[in-house]
Amino acid sequence: MPVKEQRVEFLAMTPNALELLYASFRQCYHAGFVADMWPKLLNGEVERDKQASFVSGILESGHTSPIEHVSFTFAIEGISRACSHQIVRHRIASYSQQSQRYVTENDMDYILPPSIAKIPEARERFEKFMDEVGETYKDLREILIANGMEKKANEDARFVLPQAAETKIVVTMNCRSLMHFFNLRCCTRAQWEVRSMADKMLKICREKLPAIFNVGGARCEQLGYCPESERFACGRFPTLSEITSKSL
């Protein structure tokens, strides 16, 4: 049962994403029908730099709903079940996750937290427990199969699997959902594993669609102050209460 490393891969995004965003934003402020300008956008009659500048400028006003027309899909592996439970709490998204019911976990990979990895005695105890879990899982499957319950073997033996068990998942989110995801999960207060994953996703999004995601990331980076209370602030930015108190 080896330790698994995190991996985030870009699979797909909405075709002609910048052109679609430009057309969507323009329709909000344009008296005509954007379908009539669509061929011009596709054949380059409207420069992409002009489109990107227009989209970025409107975003600065706080008008974000049109970016829902574009979505990204990622394949992710090397994350724990603890991490995936956090991801799927983001509602406006689609998920396809590896099933412990149909995939046998006899050779379960797992995620080793860095805080445990750097302390020898903690790592030793953690890895010993992972081995114990693995053996227990195998024993339970064999017992169930021997008792004529082969169809139940995986789905019932999996009850002993830990949150550290590695999982794989395909995630699709539209740009507005991604921006919200990055606001929360790129924050230093986010759990280390989901933050690492979010940082990798954001890097890809910035490369693919900079007009939207160059301003993506933790909320404090956009606001210029920490929206958390002083109790939870990490210190990278002043809190809103600190700013207002100075202005009095």
**Whether residue 185 lies in the annotated active site:** yes
40 pLDDT band, cuts 50/70/90, is: very high
Q: What torsion do the CA atoms of 139, 142, 146, 148 make, to the nearest 10 degrees?
A: 120
Instruction: Identify whether residues 211 and 198 lie together within a single domain.
Output: yes
Catalytic residue among 185, 206, 231, 236: 185
pLDDT at position 230 over 80: yes
Asked whether residue 102 carries a pLDDT value surpassing 90, the answer given is yes
Q: Looking at residue 232, what is its pLDDT? A: 86
> Residue 247: is its pLDDT beyond 70?
no
Q: Based on the structure, what is the number of domains in the chain?
A: 3
* Judgement on whether residues 131 and 171 belong to the same structural domain of the protein: no
The predicted structure's pLDDT at residue 229: 84
Q: Express each pLDDT in 152-182 by its tens digit.
A: 999 999 999 999 999 999 999 999 999 999 9
User: What percent of the chain has a predicted confidence (pLDDT) above 90?
Assistant: 85
Mean pLDDT lowest for which of 44-48, 188-192, 229-233? Answer: 229-233
Q: Is residue 105 part of a domain?
A: no
At residue 1, the pLDDT reads: 58
Residue 17 pLDDT > 90, yes or no? yes
- Tell whether 194 and 150 lie within a shared domain: no
Q: Which residue has the tokens 């699979």?
A: 11
Does residue 207 surpass a pLDDT of 80?
Answer: yes
Residue 117, pLDDT above cutoff 80: yes
- Containing structural domain, residue 68: 1-100+165-217
User: Is the same domain home to 131 and 33?
Assistant: no
Do 120 and 25 lie in one domain? The reply is no
Neighbouring-strand partners of residue 76: 8, 169
Indicate the SS3 state at residue 75. Answer: strand
- In this prediction, residue 165 carries a pLDDT of 97
Q: Which of 166-175, 180-189, 207-216, 229-238 shows the lowest mean pLDDT across its residues?
A: 229-238
**What b-and-e string marks burial along 46-64, b requiring 16 or more CB atoms within 10 Å of the CB?**
beeeebbebbeebbeeeee
Together in a domain, 143 and 180: no
Predicted local distance difference test score (pLDDT) of residue 248: 54
- By residue count, the chain amounts to 248
Predicted structure pTM score: 0.93
Nearest in space to 38 (alpha carbons), one of 52, 57, 19: 19
| C-alpha to C-alpha distance for 72 and 55, rounded to whole angstroms | 18
**CA 69, CA 175: separation in Å to the nearest integer?**
8
Average pLDDT, the chain: 94
Predicted local distance difference test score (pLDDT) of residue 26: 95
Q: What is the pLDDT of residues 79-97, one digit of tens each?
A: 999 999 999 999 999 999 9
Same domain, 187 and 87: yes
